[in-house]
């Protein structure tokens, strides 16, 4: 999905609410699976690229996995398929 609109119309706020970075002042956000069953927000598999992305000091892999070592294998496997295996070790602060 692409959400576009003029500056200041609430696009970033909407995504922050969906991701749980902000709490709604009224109402609630409910996540449902493809069968209409309510699910936990962590299972919704929602990605968001903010207009001012934040990168952490460290390697590309550490930024992709958010320093979660349990995801190292998956990140390496995907990078290898994309022929980017050696890039994961590069520092973003170089």
Q: Is the CB of residue 58 less than 8 Å from the CB of residue 67?
A: yes
pLDDT of 16 > 90? The answer is no
CA distance 53 to 76: 22
User: Is the whole model's pTM more than 0.75, yes or no?
Assistant: no
**C-alpha 70, offset from chain centre:** 16
3 state DSSP class of 14:
helix
Cα distances (Å, whole numbers) of residue 51 to 39, 48, 85 = 28, 10, 27
Q: Considering only CA atoms, which of 3, 34, 6, 32 is closest in space to residue 16? A: 3
Indicate whether 94 pLDDT > 70: no
Rounded Cα distance, 92 and 63, in Å: 9
Question: Residue for token digits 């699976």?
Answer: 33
Residue-wise pLDDT for 18-73, tens only, equals: 888 889 999 988 888 888 888 887 777 777 777 777 778 888 888 888 888 899 99
């Amino acid at each position: 999905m692409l959400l576009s609109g003029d500056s200041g119309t609430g696009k970033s706020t909407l995504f922050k609410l969906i991701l749980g970075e902000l709490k709604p002042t009224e109402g609630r956000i409910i996540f449902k699976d493809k069968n209409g069953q309510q699910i936990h927000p962590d299972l919704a598999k929602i990605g968001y690229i903010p207009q001012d992305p934040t990168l952490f000091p460290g390697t590309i892999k550490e930024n992709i996995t958010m320093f979660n070592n349990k995801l190292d294998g998956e990140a390496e496997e995907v990078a290898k398929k994309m022929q980017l295996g050696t890039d994961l070790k590069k520092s973003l602060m170089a």
